[in-house]
Amino acid sequence: MSAVTKLFGSFAALNGIDLSVARGEKVVVCGPSGSGKSTLIRCINHIEKHDGGSIVVDGCILDHKAANVDRVRREVGMVFQSFNLFPHMSVLANCMLAPMLVRGLKAVEAEEVAIGFLRRVRIADQATKYPSQLSGGQQQRVAIARAMCMRPKIMLLDEPTSALDPEMVKEVLDTMMELGARASVDGMTMICVAHEMGFAREVADRVIFMDEGAIVEEGAPEQFFCQPKTQRARNFLSRILH
C-alpha cells in the first residue's frame, strides 16, 4: 500500500499512507478517533474506495475493477465494529451464506465448516437462533466465525470490542487472542484496529499509531507502549491508560 489517500469531500481521511504487511504478520492499528484507522482497513477490501495511491492485496492490484475487487474480497475477511450480522437469517445461515454463494460449497459442506468455526468461538449451541436473540458479545463472536468460514488469507478487524458492554469485552478479546494464536499456525495475516494494550502485546507483531490520516509511529508492541518516540503517541497513550 503506497501513497494512499482518501477524501471525504475536501477532508483527507487518509493522507499518503505507506504501509506493507507481510504474509502472516499480525498488526494492531491504534490512534485517536477520526485518525483514519477504520478508513484505512476499509480501503483494504474496497468497502471504501481510495482516491489516490495504490493498494496491492495478495498480489492483486486494487484498481476499482469489479473482477479484482471480487478476487480480493474472497481472500479478505472482515469483522465490523457494529457486527453487521444479517438479522433475517439464523446464526448458522449467516455463516453458510458466503461459502455457498461465493465459494460454491454445497449446503452440507458449508454447514460442516460453519459448525466447526462456531464451535471454536464456543457458540455452536446457539446456531439456530437469530442474531437479535444473542448478546452483543455473542453476536461479535458469530461475526468472527462468519468471517473465518471463508478461510480468508487476511483478516481485518475494525474495533471489534468498542460497541460492546464492558462485561462482554473479555469474551470477544479471548476469542480474538485465540484467533491470533491460530493465525500464527495457519499463516493468516491479521490487521486489527484496537485499543486494548493487553491484546496488542499478546498478539501483535507490530503496532501502528495513526493520527490525522497519517502513520505517525510504528514499532514492536513492547517498545511502542513503554517508550513511545513521538509526543503525539505519548499523549494518546496517557489518555487511554487512565
Partner 1 sequence: MTADWVSGYGLQLLWGVVTTLSVTLMALIIGTVFGISLGAVKIYGAKPFRYSAEVYTALVRGVPDLIIIYLIYFGGTVALTKLTGRYVDINGFAAGVASLAFIFAAYASDIFRGAIKQVPRGQFDAAHALGLSRRAAFLRIILPQAWRLALPGFGNLAIILIKQTSLISVIGLEELLRASSVISGATRQPFLVYSVTAILYLIMTSFASWGFRHARIWSNRGFA
Closest by alpha carbon to 217, among 201, 205, 233, 194? 233
Q: Does 64 bind partner 1 (CB under 8 A)?
A: no
Cell, residue 229 = 518516540
Q: Does 82 bind partner 1 (CB under 8 A)?
A: yes
Quick one: which of 9, 10, 64, 88 contacts partner 1 (CB under 8 A)? 88
Quick one: which of 10, 20, 33, 132 contacts partner 1 (CB under 8 A)? 132
Q: Which stretch binds partner 1 (CB under 8 A): 1-9, 143-151, 173-181, 212-220?
A: 143-151
Name residue 15's beta-bridge partners. Answer: 5
Name residue 158's beta-bridge partners. Answer: 193
Q: How far is the CB of 123 from partner 1 (least distance, A)?
A: 17
What single letter denotes the amino acid at residue 157?
L
Q: How far apart are CA 3 and CA 16, in angstroms?
A: 4
Closest by alpha carbon to 159, among 72, 78, 73, 49? 78
Quick one: which of 145, 150, 169, 188 contacts partner 1 (CB under 8 A)? 150
With respect to partner 1, which residue has the nearer C-beta, 69 or 215?
69
Q: How far is the CB of 74 from partner 1 (least distance, A)?
A: 4
Going edge to edge, which strands form the sheet with 206-211?
A: 76-79, 154-158, 189-193, 26-30, 206-211, 214-219
Which residues lie near partner 1 (CB under 8 A)?
Answer: 42, 45-47, 70, 73-74, 76-78, 80, 82, 84-88, 97-98, 101-102, 130, 132-133, 146-147, 150, 156
